[in-house]
Amino acid sequence: MFRPRIRNRLLQRYESQLSRQIMTRRGFSTNRSLHKGQGKEADGEALRTAERRAEEARAAEERREYKRRYDGAARRWVSTIIALPILLVTSYYLFDRLVLGKKPKSLEKYRGEKAD
Give the pLDDT confidence score for residue 30 in this predicted structure. 52
**Dihedral sign for Cα atoms in the order 94, 95, 97, 99:** positive
Domain ranges of the chain: 40-101
Indicate whether 103 pLDDT > 80.
Answer: yes
Distance CA 79, CA 114 (A): 42
Give the pLDDT confidence score for residue 20 in this predicted structure. 74
**pTM for this one?**
0.43
Range 3-25 average pLDDT: 76
**Where residue 94 falls among pLDDT bands split at 50, 70, 90?**
very high
34: left (phi over 0), alpha (psi -120 to 50) or beta: beta
Q: How far is the CA of 27 from the CAs of 15, 52, 56, 57, 60, in angstroms?
A: 20, 12, 16, 17, 22
78 CB neighbour count, 10 Å cutoff? 10
Given a contact cutoff of 8 angstroms between Cβ atoms, the answer to whether 60 and 52 are in contact is: no
Per-residue pLDDT tens digits for 22-73: 766 655 555 555 555 555 566 678 888 888 999 999 999 999 999 999 999 9
